[in-house]
Structure 1
Amino acid sequence: MTIREVQVTFDCAGPDALADFWCAVLGYDKQPPPAGFDSWDAALDAWGVPAEERDSRSAAVPPEGETGPRLFFQRVPEPKTVKNRVHLDVRAAPGLSGAERADALEAEAARLVALGATVVRRLEADGMDEAVIVVQDPEGNEFCLD
C-alpha cells in the first residue's frame, strides 16, 4: 500500500494572516517563494497577479528537516457558519497527565489567545481521555489543544 501525503486546506477570508497564525501555533514556516524569486511579491509581479488577488492563498510548511502536512489557506467569499466536521488536534501536552497536563494546556491556550485565538470551552476528562481545551483560530475554525 502506498502512503499518501496529506495537505490540510482552510477556507478563509484572509489567507496570509491565517497562515501567520498557524505558523505561530505549530512552529511552521510560510512557504518560501519559488526558485528564482527573492519574495512572493516579486513572483506575483512577474506573473502579473493584480493587487486584489495577492491575498487569495497562502501556505505553511514544516521547517526544513521536519515532517508534517502542508497547510493551504484559500480565500472564499462565504463566511464560516457552522461547526467544523473535521478539526486539528494540536498536541500541546503529549505524555503529560493530571495537573501537569492541565497546566501545559492552559499555558498553551494563553499563548494562542495572545496570537488571536479564542478559548471556547474546556472538556473535562470522561474516564477514557484527559481533558482538552477547544479553541478557535482568528477566523472561527475550531481545534483542540490535546
Structure 2
Amino acid sequence: MTTNWTLTIDCADPALVARFWCTALGYTEADPPQGWDTWEDWLTDLNVPKDEWNDGASISDLNGVLPSISFLKVPEPRTVKNRLHLDLQVAGGRAVPQHLREQRIRATAETLIEAGATLVREIPMENSTTLDHLWMQDPEGNDFCVV
C-alpha cells in the first residue's frame, strides 16, 4: 500500500519561494480548500490572524497528477547543504545530442536566474569537461539541479 505525500519546503518567505517554484516547475498556486472561493476567505473563516497569512503557501501541478508542494515559514535560516533536492530534468536524457542538452539546460537556468535563482556550479560529466548539469539554489538558498 502506498502513502499519499507532499513535499514541504521550510523558508522565510513562503509566497516568494512558492512563486519561484511555480516558474521552475510550471505549477500554479494551489486552489483554496473546497467550500471557499479564496484563501483569504478560508483564513478568515478559520480566524487566522492576518499577520500569519504569509506563514504558508502551496502550489500544485496544473494537471493534478504530480505531488503538490507546500512552503512553511520557519524562524531559523538554512545552515547546511540540503541532503534532498529536486532535479529539473529538462535536457531530454543522454540519447539527446550533447549540444542540444546543454542548450536546454542553459536556457532553463537563465529563466530561473531571472526568477531569483543562483548558479552555484557547473558540474561536468565524469572524466570530461562536457556539461552534465548545473547546481543551483532558489531565492532562499535551497539546492536544486538543472539536468
- Pairwise same-fold verdict (TM > 0.5): yes
Question: 1:73 is paired with a residue of what secondary structure?
Answer: strand
**Structure 2 counterpart of 1:136, which letter?**
Q
Partner of 1:16: 15
CA RMSD of aligned residues (A): 1.8
| Alignment length (residue pairs) | 144
String of CA shifts for 1:50-86, please: whole Å, max 9, x gaps. Answer: 111101111111113x421211111110000110011
Q: What does 1:1-146 align with in structure 2 at a 5 Å threshold?
A: 2-64=1-63, 66-95=64-93, 96-126=96-126, 131-146=132-147
Q: CA deviation at 1:9?
A: 1.1
C-alpha distance in 2 between matches for 1:94 and 1:76: 36
Q: CA deviation at 1:130?
A: 6.1
Identity %: 38
**Structure 2 counterpart of 1:109, which letter?**
A
Q: CA deviation at 1:127?
A: 5.3
Contact 1:84 1:142 in 2 (8 A): yes
Contact 2:28 2:59 in 1 (8 A): yes
Q: CA deviation at 1:97?
A: 3.6
- TM norm structure 1: 0.91
Can you give the 5+ residue segments of structure 2 that lack an aligned partner in the other structure? none
C-alpha distance in 2 between matches for 1:77 and 1:9: 15
C-alpha distance in 2 between matches for 1:22 and 1:84: 16
- TM norm structure 2: 0.91
